[in-house]
Amino acid sequence: MRKTTANRLLKAITDNLVSVTSAVVNHDEGMKEPISDEKFKEDLEFYVNSGIFADTIDFSYEKIAENKLLISIGKASCYCYDDIDVTLQLSDGVDMETVTKQLYEDLNEKWSA
């Protein structure tokens, strides 16, 4: 899995590189709660606009099919009781390289800015 950020994910969605096909909150008690694609996008946008808090939860991604990615949110922190899995579908005419370039977080770039 590679690291990304909420901002990079939101940009990929709003630029129509990908669409959300499923979003599920995995509760600590073992329950899974599906959330609508619209609710996920709305909450993601709110989180990105939260200022200094916007980079506090871990986001990572991996390719799970030729045209699908899995985004994992909140899995790296032992303090997050719940985590989120989001499946993304590449939009028509968009290749995996374009999407992964958008999502990839270059830590050297981040800290030199």
Q: Could you report the per-residue pLDDT of 20-60, keeping only the tens digit for each?
A: 999 999 998 889 999 999 999 999 999 999 988 888 889 99
Q: What percent of the chain has pLDDT over 90?
A: 76
> Nearest-CA neighbor of 23 among 94, 83, 109?
83
**DSSP state, 91?**
P
What are the angstrom distances between the C-alpha of 51 and each of 3, 66, 84, 102? 20, 34, 21, 21
> Nearest-CA neighbor of 64 among 39, 36, 17, 96?
96
Answer whether residue 111 shows pLDDT above 80.
no
Domain locations in the chain as residue ranges? 2-98
Cβ(37)–Cβ(21) below 8 Å: yes
